[in-house]
Amino acid sequence: MVAATIDMNAAHVPAKTGPWWSHLYVQVLAAIAGGILLGHFWPEVGIQLQPLGKGFIDLVKMIIAPVIFLTVSTGIASVGSGRTLGRLTAKTFAYFLFFSTLALIIGLIVANVVQPGAGMNIDPSTLDPNAVAKIAEYDAKAHDTSLVGFLLAIIPTTFVSALTSGSILQALFAAILFGIALSHTGAAGAQVLGMLEKLSSVFFYLVGMLMRFAPIGAFGAMAFTIGEYGVESLVNLGALIATFYLTSILFVVVVLGGMARLCGFSIFRLIAYLKAELLLVLGTSSSEAALPSLMEKLEKAGCAKSVVGMVVPTGYSFNLDGTNIYMTLAALFVAQATGIDLSLGDQVALLLVAMVSSKGAAGVTGAGFITLAATLTAVPTVPVAGLALILGIDRFMSECRALTNFIGNALAAIVVAMWENALDRDALNRALSGESAPLAAAPVETDSD
């Protein structure tokens, strides 16, 4: 396989810059700061602003399925070879399995070394009854979410429902099948492919339009979070929050940063390139809010459309580094806080179950607690009701989970593109150095077999 590029001789053009306040990341950052202040000093008003954040996230979710379908189907149709697609899929899931497992192990190690829950000596029977009842709901959902059920849920009821159900994996599944069909239908497929590529440009323009509302969404979401939960709730369980944030930062800098360095670029430059999207994720606590924009930016950074279309949507369900760190760290925190000493065998069982449950509940509302509940049931000595301890602060840790997941998936797309020889290095260097590049400069895979 070789990576072909279009208009590689185009001149390098410095990125256009406007007034500092016109940049999206500045507007989102200001909105987050304003939301924090409003939620802290006028919590009643902040709580009433929840519809702003929810409305913006719903706007973005409205176009996620079409963007995924168009990107994946046109990318796969361009690849053409079934053998190439199979190789891409194998490399993608090999990457996901390695880094997801590593994240789980790191969470386990940090919890054993730092022991954020040690000395709390909490009796589960004294926990808040309302919180325990809420945990019981998550526990019931965990039992209803089996791996087999998760796999069957990927298959849509109808082809159209794959684009209307809101399921990323259903849209991805339909797009893969449609892309394969396009690549095998000759002239008719080529005509449809041309139409889809034009439609894709329209949808990405729509993405740009919707991103202009990002500051409003971030403002409302942050005002609600601070107004509803209060900054004070961070103090009581500060050790767990600090441990999780520091572990996630080290994972990004050392583990993901090391992988980026092996591939010849800096993780910090990648973070700077995605700063607007990262601030949007921070403000809304939803990595899905920045998914369409991430896919567009990765293509501009030189990743082949087929790689972006395969890795990013799949990674949102199977490559959740931040969530995996959180799962094992929080599980051991509950055990330590309730005075339960887990043996090495118990912790290995916890790790093995987490490897499965973290995939089986992907994309489900409240997935963090659902997967935690499912994992804790594998070690009966740890009370699931103990999750009530972290129910109140989970909202403040979800931002860190989402940010780590987002960075991990961005890096995954670049690494897999490099493995597939489907990465335009010049375009990547221009993007990470802040220079603009021709929109058509992303590589298109061609099969040389």
> What residues make up the domain containing 31?
18-440
The residue among 142, 118, 135 whose CA lies nearest residue 384 is 135
Domain contains 224: yes
pTM: 0.75
Residue 201 included in any domain: yes
d(CA 409, CA 270): 12
Q: Is the pLDDT of residue 417 over 80?
A: yes
| Contact indicator for 135, 391 with CB cutoff of 8 Å | yes
**Does residue 417 fall inside a structural domain?**
yes
In 3D space, the residue among 417, 331, 411, 392 whose CA is nearest the CA of residue 1 turns out to be 417
Q: What pLDDT does residue 136 have?
A: 54
SS3 (DSSP) at 2: strand
Alpha-carbon distance of 77 to 181, in angstroms, equals: 8
CA distances from 164 to 63, 150, 170, 343 (A): 10, 18, 10, 46
- Top pLDDT among 349 and 430 is at 430
> What pLDDT was estimated at residue 365?
43
Whole-number mean pLDDT of the chain? 79
Enumerate residues 6+ apart whose C-beta is below 8 A from 62.
none
Q: How many Cβ atoms are within 10 Å of 212's Cβ, its own excluded?
A: 10
Residue 123 pLDDT exceeds 90: no
How many domains are there within the chain?
1
Examine residue 449 and state whether it is found in any structural domain, yes or no. no
pLDDT in tens, 358-411: 664 444 445 666 677 767 766 677 777 777 777 767 777 888 888 999 999 999
At 282-313, the pLDDT tens digits run 887 777 778 888 989 999 999 998 899 889 88
Residues in Cβ contact with 365 at an 8 Å cutoff, skipping those fewer than 6 apart:
none
**For residue 11, is it within any domain?**
no
- As a whole number, mean pLDDT of residues 321-328 equals 89
Higher pLDDT, 318 or 130: 318
* Mean pLDDT for the stretch of residues 206-225: 85
Cβ neighbours of 253 (radius 10 Å) = 13
Measure the CA–CA gap between 400 and 75, rounded to whole angstroms.
Answer: 31
Identify the weakest region by mean pLDDT among 286-290, 300-304, 323-327, 328-332: 286-290
Residues 156-170 have pLDDT tens digits of 899 888 888 877 778
Residue 106 has pLDDT above 90, yes or no: yes
CATH code for position 242: 1.10.3860.10
Helix (H) or strand (E) holding 13: strand 13-14
Any domain includes 6: no
Q: In the predicted model, what is the mean pLDDT of residues 169-186? A: 85
Asked whether residue 13 is assigned to any structural domain, the reply reads no
